[in-house]
Amino acid sequence: MYNVLVVELNRHSGSKTRDALDWSVLGFSIENDADSADSALTLLSTKPYSLVLINMVGMPEEGLALCSRIRAESRIPILLIGDGTNFQLARKAMYYQVSDYLPAPLCAEDLSASLQLIKRRLDSADGAVREKQPPEEAASEISVIDKVKEYVSEALSQNITLKEISNILHFNCSYLGQKFKYHEKMTFNEYLLKQRMEKAKALLESTDLKVYEIANEVGYSEMDWFYKKFKSYTGVSANEYRKMMSITA
């Protein structure tokens, strides 16, 4: 059963996405609901999901912004429901490599067909990982964790996901995530954030790079998202941090 996060950005739309069909028959389970981008991102950072469904009817800009923020961190499948008459909106959605875009009003048959296609892709990806996965005794857990950390260090400026690393190392993603948390005492996403923020701090202290250049160096293409993450991590903005370090130097 694949876990789904449903995001209803317009809480006044009267949407009944959850009640549109019997999800379990199609192999999906709605694990959580969110009514804002921030709550959706919080849930995505703390729990594993297989699919994000975003209903952005009446809230197109917020919906696309959420897609952008998700893509900055993950390649998780995204299913969008949007205003049916807006062709330009559908084209913009494709830019974020969404799995499908369904026009409103939502048709249960279209939603079912889309979910079946997404499930086949998920089944195929999971099956490939299981076939490639070697016996646990083939490599020590510590050496595998070291390889994960080495990959993060070398690819920090790129989009990084544990799923991608799992495929490269031929490990099941869920298994690798559990082992990483056991050895590092933090989740993979927490570790990745720490590495990005610590490198950003170092670059702010030791280089004259512009803040947007530093953001790109640590894997953020969206400046607003970088600013938010950096301030949450350090308590101050990137510019304030640089000024503080120049004063104490």
Q: What structural domains and CATH numbers belong to the chain?
A: 2-130 (3.40.50.2300), 137-248 (1.10.10.60)
**What beta strand segments (E) does the chain contain?**
2-8, 28-34, 51-55, 78-83, 100-104
Please work out, in degrees rounded to the nearest 5, the angle formed at the alpha carbon of residue 163 by the alpha carbons of 63 and 18. 40
Which of 49-53, 170-174, 219-223 shows the lowest mean pLDDT across its residues? 170-174
Share of the chain above pLDDT 70, in %: 89
Residue 213's pLDDT band, with cuts at 50, 70 and 90, is: very high
Q: Give me the residues paired with residue 244 across strands.
A: none
What pLDDT shows up at residue 237? 94
Share of the chain above pLDDT 90, in %: 31
State pLDDT tens for residues 70-88: 888 778 899 988 887 667 7
- Written as six digits, the tokens of 220 are 């953020």
What pLDDT shows up at residue 232? 93
Sign of the CA dihedral 185, 170, 5, 65?
positive
Kindly report the pTM of this predicted structure.
0.52
State pLDDT tens for residues 92-150: 777 888 888 888 888 888 889 889 988 888 887 666 545 644 544 444 566 788 889 98
Rounded CA separation 18/159 (Å)? 31
Tell me which long-range contacts 38-43 makes (C-beta under 8 A, separation of at least 24).
Answer: 40/5, 40/7, 40/66, 40/70, 41/66, 41/69, 41/70, 43/5
CB 50 within 8 A of CB 1: no
